[in-house]
Amino acid sequence: MLAKQTPPANVDIYISGFSGNVRELLQKLRNIIRKQTPGAEEIISYQMPAFTYNGVLVYFAGYKNHIGFYPTSSGINAFKDELSAYKWSKGAIQFPLDKPLPLALIKRIVKFRVAENREKLRIRQERKTSTPKRKVKKR
């Protein structure tokens, strides 16, 4: 039976657990996401780094042969025509370690997710203010 791993306390600790090229690529990806999401919070979720802004925006992780980028299924669907050069699935993209990160694509995906979360927040707030409160009859 395998021992349960303790999740890293923060993103700095997570990234410092890698060496060489993987660490460098993780830090580069983190910086790209940060620049696109001022005000977003960095967290560890599912034992990997994530950014939240009115909900989760994206996750990312380091592996032996690739960097995993998880922009949720909507982030994949919106850009699937541009992902043909990468291994991808419903909610994940794999960026190989031997190729440069597609910085422009990552920026567009993150901006898309920020806009999507803003719109979801706007709709939630609109529903709150437009839903009439029901009066309770006293007996």
* 94: enclosing H helix or E strand: strand 93-96
The reported pLDDT for the residue numbered 116 is 94
Architecture category of domain 11-126 in CATH: Alpha-Beta Complex (3.90)
Look-up of token digits 């599912």:
46
Predicted confidence band of residue 137 (pLDDT cuts 50, 70, 90): low
Q: What is the percent of the chain with per-residue pLDDT over 70, rounded to a whole number?
A: 91
Please say whether the beta carbons of 50 and 42 come within 8 A. Answer: yes
